[in-house]
Amino acid sequence: MPELAVSTRGLRKTYRTRRGKRVVAVQGLDLDVPTGGVHGFLGPNGSGKTTSIRMLLGLVRADAGTMALFDRRVPEHLPEVVSRVGAIVESPKFFPAFSGRKNLELLADAIGTPRRRVGEVLEETSLGERGKDRFKSYSLGMKQRLAIAATLLKEPELLIFDEPTNGLDPAGIREIRETMRALGEQGRTVLVSSHILAEVEQVADTVSIIGHGRLLASGTVAEVIGGTAKGTVKVAVDDHDRATRILTSAGLTVRADGNYLLVDGAEHPSDVTRRLAQQELYVSELIPVRADLESVFLELTADEGLGGDR
C-alpha cells in the first residue's frame, strides 16, 4: 500500500461550550490523503475541517480515533515528522510587532534552518522588499504569503492550508491558487481545506467532502462528481408539454427551467434528441449541464445545513 500523507480513522472531537453543553466537532472521521498533488478538504463552515487539521498538528487533542502523518502515528510521533509538514491554520499568526523577516528568522532558528533560507523564501513569495516591515502593517494577502514563506522554511513534503483565501481579493486568490498548484506539481502534497468549491476544483487532484465531522465522499474530482451527480441536459424545444410527455414516458425526469426543459437521467444527450425527433419535435438548443464539485458538494451536504454543529 502506498504511503499516505495523512490518514485518520474514527477521529472524534467534542467541545464543551461555556454553558457546559457538549458539541461534536468531528465524529468518526476517516480521511486518507495520498502523497503528491493537491487534495481538497471540503465542507461547510463549522463542519470540522479546522478542528481536524488542528488535531493532525497536535494543537487540539482528539477524544478518540487514530491519526497518522506519513504513516507515523500522531501526536505521539509528531516531532519525528513535523519537519516534513508545513501548515497555515486559519489566519496567519505571527508576532505582530516584529518584521516579517524577524518572524521567519526566529522560526528558522528554532528548527535549525540556515538564515539564508529566510531570504530565499521571502523572495519566493515576493516579500523580499517588505521583509523588514512589521507584520501588523501587512495586507491580508501579504500575511498569507508570509505564512506560506514560513511553511517553506522547512521545505516540507506536506503543506496544509486551512481556508487560505479567506479575505483575499481576486488577485490574491489567484496567486494562492497558483502557488498551491505549483507546489503540487513539484511533487509535494498540498492539503487545502476550503468551503469555496470553485477554487478547490481548479487545483485539486483529489478531494474529501465532510459534513458534521463525518466523511461524505472522497476520491478524485472526477470520481466524486461522477459518483454522485446525475447527467442533466438543458433542452430548448417549441412544445414544452408534448416534449415533457414524450421524455417522461421514456423514463426521464423533466423540469421546466424558464424557456428550457431540464432533463435528468439521460445516459447521453443524443437520447433526448432522438426520442423527440422520432415524434417530429425538433430541438433548437441542447446544452449538457456538467455536474461540478459545487453541485455535488451541495447535494452531499444538503442535510448538513450551512454550518455545522460547532
Return residues touching another protein (CB under 8 A).
Answer: 54, 57-61, 75, 78-79, 82, 85-87, 89, 91-98, 102, 106-107, 109-112, 147, 150, 154
Shortest Å distance, C-beta 147 to another protein? 8
- Cα 183 to Cα 52, 102, 155, 187, 284: the distances in Å are 22, 25, 11, 7, 45
Nearer to another protein, 150 or 261 (CB): 150
H or E segment to which residue 140 belongs:
helix 140-152
- And the C-alpha cell for 18? 461555556
Q: How far apart are CA 281 and CA 274, in angstroms?
A: 10
CA angle (121, 127, 128) in 5-degree steps: 80
- At residue 227, what is the residue type? G
- 82 or 229: whose CB is closer to another protein? 82
Toward another protein, which CB reaches closer, 26 or 293?
26
10 Å CB burial of residue 111 (0-12, 13-18, 19+) is exposed
Least spacing, CB of residue 104 vs another protein, in Å: 11
Measured from the CB atom, is 134 or 242 closer to another protein?
134
The three grid cell numbers given for residue 224, joined into one nine-digit string: 466524486
d(CA 73, CA 77): 6
Residues 6+ apart with CB under 8 A from 125: 145, 146, 148, 149, 152, 179
Min dist CB 65 to another protein, Å, is 16
Beta-ladder partners of 286: 235
Residue 58 beta carbon to another protein: minimum distance, rounded to whole angstroms: 5
Select 78 or 291, whichever has its Cβ closest to another protein.
78
244 neighbors 261 (Cβ within 8 angstroms): yes
Least spacing, CB of residue 148 vs another protein, in Å? 12
Distance CA 169, CA 162 (A): 17
Question: Least separation, in Å, of the C-beta of 303 and another protein?
Answer: 27
Q: Which residue's CB is nearer to another protein, number 136 or number 268?
A: 136
137-to-76, 95, 96 alpha-carbon distances in Å: 38, 12, 8
Rounded to the nearest whole angstrom, what is the least distance from the CB of residue 285 to another protein in the complex? 52
CB of 78 to another protein, least distance (A): 5
Closer residue to another protein (CB): 90 or 169:
90
Q: Which is nearer to another protein, 112 or 258 (CB)?
A: 112
Q: How many whole angstroms separate alpha carbon 225 and alpha carbon 219?
A: 9
CA–CA distance, 262 with 48 (Å, rounded to integer): 35
